[in-house]
Homo-oligomer: A and B are copies of this chain.
């Protein structure tokens, strides 16, 4: 069992990573605040792991709130059903929420914890690779609005995160690969050695080798934790974590979030960022090739599943900009392992980049 600490002053917390982490009931017990627990999970995860969590709990009062599965349910309306569970069962401020599921369950449970009686404790038990390496660090919680993703939320830190590598055995292969996209992202933006390690160990990871998984999750969380500790509310360096995401969001938007997973869109987005960095004269063509090869080794796409219109992608990127910031900033690469923010680039460079894929 590995234990990694996310350093955020009085909001610091540990991430436990490893095989059987969930079976060690003392971990959960240590981090529960108060004598009441609400477990939030979904219809897919509940049959697999809910009993295991319930068995590990020894508190006076436990309530379960089972949500429908899927990003389309990440809404204020579903959030309200968590509040319904809390209030119908008269949960006091001394309640700890446990998020048992992937990113959607984690984001909503964290936001519900941030808001219920103006803030109660919560623990994350991420059950997908993506949520283990992404949403378990950083405290970003949110729900979607009909007019924009993650538009309503809070920065709110958990008491602890328990990333059990065993739960990945029940994760569909395509979702596992989507999680690998974010793992690769950390190497690409901040750690050339880790990127090389991923190239060497892609096969073991794809075969769910426990030690390889633990290390990949640990190093990913470490890199993210280091960046988040320096910039909790995304005023500057935290934006580097968006590598591949502006392109990726545009692809998801144009595809209306159908037929592509977030991690898959990010994979294509990272390749676009690599192409753009090469066209700008920063990245070597050989490095672009390495990115492509590693993505493929993890069964990730390097182009969209169907032809998309380049102008639609451009519009979607500009729309993204209008709502979230003043100007279009992209995360580009100086080399494998070194990213930078760039808002001063030519339209022609962007056009050329999009032409490599669309």
Task: Mark A residues whose CB is within 8 Å of B.
Answer: 76, 79-80, 83-84, 87-88, 90-94, 114-119, 140, 142, 145, 147-148, 151-155, 233, 322-326
14 new A-B contacts at CB < 8 Å, known A87-B151, A115-B152: A83-B145, A83-B151, A83-B152, A84-B147, A87-B323, A115-B153, A116-B151, A116-B152, A118-B153, A118-B154, A118-B155, A119-B155, A119-B233, A154-B154
Contact between chains at A87 and B148 (CB < 8 Å): yes
Q: Per a CB cutoff under 8 Å, which of B92, B115, B119 touches A322?
A: B92
* Identical subunits present: 2
Task: Judge whether B118 and A142 touch: CB under 8 Å.
Answer: yes
- Asked whether, in the complex, the Cβ of B155 is within 8 Å of the Cβ of A92, the reply is no
Are B115 and A324 neighbours in the complex by a CB distance under 8 Å? Answer: no
- In this complex, what residue of B is CB-closest to A139? B118
Q: B residues within 8 A CB of A93?
A: 324-325
The interface residues of chain B lying within 8 Å CB-to-CB of A87 are 145, 147-148, 151, 323
Across the A-B interface, the 10 shortest Cβ-Cβ residue pairs: A87-B147, A118-B153, A115-B152, A90-B322, A87-B148, A83-B145, A90-B323, A118-B155, A76-B80, A118-B154
Shortest distance from the beta carbon of A72 to any chain B beta carbon, whole Å: 17
Q: Is the interface of A mostly helix, strand, loop or mixed?
A: mixed
| Contact residues in B for A155 (Cβ distance below 8 Å) | 118-119
Question: For A76, what are the chain B residues with a Cβ–Cβ distance below 8 Å?
Answer: 76, 79-80
| CA of A142 to CA of B323, assembled, Å | 25
The smallest beta-carbon distance between A61 and chain B, in angstroms, is 11
Name the B residues within 8 Å of A140 (CB-CB).
Answer: 118
- 14 A–B pairs (Cβ distance < 8 Å), ordered by A: A76-B79, A80-B145, A84-B145, A87-B147, A91-B323, A92-B326, A93-B324, A115-B115, A115-B152, A115-B153, A115-B154, A116-B151, A118-B154, A118-B155
Residues A117 and B147 in contact, CB atoms below 8 Å apart: no
On chain B, the residues within 8 Å of A233 by CB distance are: 118-119
Smallest CB gap from A117: residue in B: B151
A165 to nearest B CB, angstroms?
A: 30
Could you tell me if A119 and B154 are in contact, using CB atoms closer than 8 angstroms?
Answer: yes
